[in-house]
Amino acid sequence: MNQPKSRYKVVIYDCDGVMFDSLESNYVFYNRVMAHLGRPPLDRSDEEARTVLHTYSFSDVMEYFFTNDPARDDALAFAKTIRYRELAPYMRMEEGLMETLDRIRPHVSLAICTNRASSMEMIIEDFGLNGYFSCIMTASQVTYPKPHPEPLLRVLDHFGIQAGEALFVGDAEVDRRAAVGAGVPFVAYKSELPATTRICHHQEIVSHLF
């Protein structure tokens, strides 16, 4: 029996907000830093801060909160002592992700492009995703993390494909800008961002592949 042929060769996933609902774990992380400095928890009604801590790289988030702050070095040093495995209980895999990966991986290669730096390997292991992704591109592997296109361009180079042969599934403006810069078709997940297509559930991507 002939296997259906995908329109694309690679599907690239952002991590936070796409593969996992990790907003709470991010708040826990940065609130631990604030508590260490004797400061109140972050204001959850501050939408700008929420977007930054949930979508930007660790270095960029720390710059956002602590630029020109005398406690910057102390905050950085303490943040690097926080064990990411302690935050895993605050993360939840998005519904339908595993089933969708199982459905599409016989037909396309899978990759991750994330602004996480050092925690992705742990997350892959803890949530049973070992062996699913042929390329995992993190902020620690590039000079310029998203929204710069470098991480996506590095993924394309890894597979030796053209930009139009991949899809990038993201949920944030940094993802969209990176996709536009790299020329990769963008799939907006649970988002109204301008995109090649929008999906509300992971399974919906199947109809865009075949």
Give the pTM.
0.91
**Residues 120, 67 within the same domain:** no
Domain boundary among the residues 70, 89, 108 is at 89
Query: Residues with Cβ < 8 Å from 170, sequence gap 6 or more?
Result: 14, 17, 18, 176, 178, 179, 186, 187, 188, 189, 191
**Residues 17, 27 within the same domain:** no
**Residue count of the chain:** 210
Closest CA to 79 of 59, 98, 101: 59
**Looking at the domain assignment, is residue 52 inside a domain?**
yes
The whole domain housing 130 covers 10-21+92-209
- Where does the pLDDT of residue 83 fall: very low under 50, low under 70, confident under 90, or very high at 90 and above? confident
Region 114-130: what's the mean pLDDT?
91
Region 33-62: what's the mean pLDDT?
94
**Residues 131, 61 within the same domain:** no
Q: Tokens in use for 202?
A: 């992971």
Query: Cα(8)–Cα(163) distance, rounded to whole angstroms?
Result: 10
What is the rounded (10 degree) CA torsion for 51, 55, 58, 60? -70
Predicted confidence (pLDDT) per residue in 153-193, tens digit? 999 999 999 999 999 999 999 999 999 999 999 999 999 99
pLDDT for residue 4 is more than 80: no
Domain boundary among the residues 89, 111, 129 is at 89
